[in-house]
């Protein structure tokens, strides 16, 4: 049990280190709006910085639910918590510290004089005070990571946590897509929501990360100095040169002689992958040896029994040879192969006394339907 727990913790540590290379934690959206992620530099400050009017971003859509019309409205503030609406009671709006608030209400089209009826008020993300007695606050825990690559620019995913509603946590997911043709300022669009996750798609120019170019190696542009003439060496007597193995010819192309250096991210990812796979193989082998499955244990025991029987069992061919050797030796150890077996073949002088060697009584193994057994019949 201890070994399995240690193996799980080791694998989790490797996975965390490998995943941290493509995940960036944002302590503050306004202060950490410029960050580097997987050799790409992003600047989301124009999106996270609050506007002068401090109005939240509203994403709303309606749905026909006869006999009413239901409206869903998201109020999003990425520069800080939403402000309290003084015109609404406290139980009809999200609590203090909410950054993203979901409100669902409906109305009857035939009764236009009636005010809309609020159905749900869900704090999706923010820093909320969940327990008033213990003073427990949920954290926003904003994280940015790269998603699927579209064209040249990978998608940027932003996650905001901290929401809570009816004993269930909620969070928001923004999929930023690079679009050079969209007009700024842009706004998000609702995608889907399931199991407490509310997803939005945001096409903006600010999601186009800039790839960080690596510094090329310094090369001198000055021409090399001309070689100095070497002094003529004095002639020496010729000596037999030892035979040396042929030297390997190097390709003339500089691309193969000096391959371009790989990026540090690829080397880091490959090293993490090799370390993770080797650790998983060693731990799996250790687990199979320490606690083998029932099928594997039965197969090994069956193979061991079969090998043990084959080593100590005498074959049929050997038994036949032993029997033949026993028949050709007398009790004194002399070879009896030249003598005739009188128990099977009678002596030659007894053939004169025996007129007939065929028994007149049928064998009990033969059937009763055999007629004229032992008598001569006419053909």
pLDDT for 12-51, tens place per residue?
444 444 444 477 888 888 888 888 887 788 889 988 876 5
**Residue 309 clears pLDDT 60, i.e. is over it:** no
User: What value, to the nearest 5°, has the Cα angle with vertex 215 and ends 210 and 219?
Assistant: 145
- Residue 251 pLDDT: 45
pLDDT band with cut points at 50, 70 and 90 for residue 348: low
**Alpha carbons 100 and 72: distance in angstroms, whole number:** 13
Is 314 a member of any domain? yes
Whether residue 192 is found in the same domain as residue 308 = no
Whether residue 301 is found in the same domain as residue 171 = no
Residues 6+ apart with CB under 8 A from 190: 59, 61, 72, 74, 199, 200
- Asked if 76 and 102 count as a contact pair (C-beta separation under 8 A), the reply is no
**Alpha carbons 59 and 189: distance in angstroms, whole number:** 7
**Residue 283 clears pLDDT 70, i.e. is over it:** yes
Is 160 a member of any domain? yes
Whether residue 205 is found in the same domain as residue 312 = no
Is 14 a member of any domain? no
Rounded to two decimals, what is the model's pTM? 0.53
**Residue 241 clears pLDDT 80, i.e. is over it:** no
Whether residue 145 is found in the same domain as residue 42 = yes
Whether residue 105 is found in the same domain as residue 207 = yes
**Alpha carbons 37 and 45: distance in angstroms, whole number:** 15
Whether residue 184 is found in the same domain as residue 298 = no
Whether residue 191 is found in the same domain as residue 312 = no
Is 146 a member of any domain? yes
**Residue 337 clears pLDDT 70, i.e. is over it:** no
End of a domain among 163, 195, 212? Answer: 212
Average pLDDT over residues 203-208: 90
Per the structure, the complete domain to which residue 334 belongs is given by 294-350
Whether residue 192 is found in the same domain as residue 56 = yes
**Alpha carbons 23 and 232: distance in angstroms, whole number:** 66
- Asked if 176 and 199 count as a contact pair (C-beta separation under 8 A), the reply is no
Number of structural domains (the chain) is 2
Is 186 a member of any domain? yes
**Residue 65 clears pLDDT 60, i.e. is over it:** yes
Whether residue 204 is found in the same domain as residue 97 = yes
Cβ atoms < 10 Å from Cβ of 329: 13
User: What value, to the nearest 5°, has the Cα angle with vertex 125 and ends 119 and 127?
Assistant: 115
pLDDT band with cut points at 50, 70 and 90 for residue 88: confident
Whether residue 182 is found in the same domain as residue 85 = yes
Is 74 a member of any domain? yes
For residue 103, give the CATH number of its domain.
2.70.130.10
Whether residue 206 is found in the same domain as residue 93 = yes
Whether residue 50 is found in the same domain as residue 174 = yes
Is 124 a member of any domain? yes
**Residue 320 clears pLDDT 90, i.e. is over it:** no
End of a domain among 196, 212, 228? Answer: 212
Is 91 a member of any domain? yes
Under DSSP, the state recorded for 90 is G
């Amino acid at each position: 049990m201890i070994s399995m727990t240690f193996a799980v913790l080791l694998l989790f540590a490797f996975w965390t280190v490998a995943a941290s290379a493509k995940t960036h934690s944002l302590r503050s959206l306004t202060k950490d709006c410029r960050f580097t992620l997987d050799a790409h530099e992003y600047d989301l400050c124009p999106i996270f910085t609050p506007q002068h009017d401090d109005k939240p971003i509203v994403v709303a859509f309606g749905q026909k639910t006869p006999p009413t019309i239901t409206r869903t409205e998201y109020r999003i503030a990425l520069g800080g918590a939403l402000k309290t609406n003084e015109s609404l009671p406290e139980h009809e709006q999200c609590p203090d510290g909410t950054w993203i608030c979901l409100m669902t209400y409906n109305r009857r089209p035939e009764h236009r004089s009636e005010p809309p009826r609020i159905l749900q008020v869900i704090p999706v993300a923010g820093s909320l005070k969940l327990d008033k007695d213990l003073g427990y606050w949920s954290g926003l825990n904003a994280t940015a990571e790269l998603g699927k690559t579209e064209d040249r620019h990978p998608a940027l995913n932003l996650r905001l946590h901290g929401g809570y509603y009816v004993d269930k946590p909620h969070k928001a997911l923004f999929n930023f897509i690079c679009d050079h043709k969209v007009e700024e300022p842009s706004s998000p669009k609702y995608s889907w929501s399931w199991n407490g996750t509310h997803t939005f798609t945001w096409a903006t120019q600010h999601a186009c990360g800039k790839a960080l170019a690596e510094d090329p190696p310094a090369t001198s542009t000055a021409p090399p100095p001309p070689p100095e003439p070497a002094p003529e060496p004095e002639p020496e007597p010729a000596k037999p040169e030892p035979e040396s193995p042929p030297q390997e010819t190097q390709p003339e192309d500089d691309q193969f002689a000096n391959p371009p250096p790989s990026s540090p991210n690829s080397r880091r990812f490959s090293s993490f992958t090799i370390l993770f796979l080797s650790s998983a193989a060693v731990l799996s082998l250790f687990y199979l040896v320490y606690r083998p499955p029932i099928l594997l244990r039965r197969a090994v025991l069956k193979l061991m029994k079969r090998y043990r029987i084959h080593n100590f069992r005498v074959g049929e061919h050997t038994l036949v040879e032993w029997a033949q050797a026993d028949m050709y030796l007398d009790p004194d150890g002399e070879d009896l192969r030249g003598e005739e077996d009188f128990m099977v073949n009678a002596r030659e002088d007894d053939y004169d006394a025996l007129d007939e060697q065929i028994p007149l009584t049928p064998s009990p193994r033969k059937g009763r339907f055999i007629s004229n057994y032992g008598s001569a019949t006419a053909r």
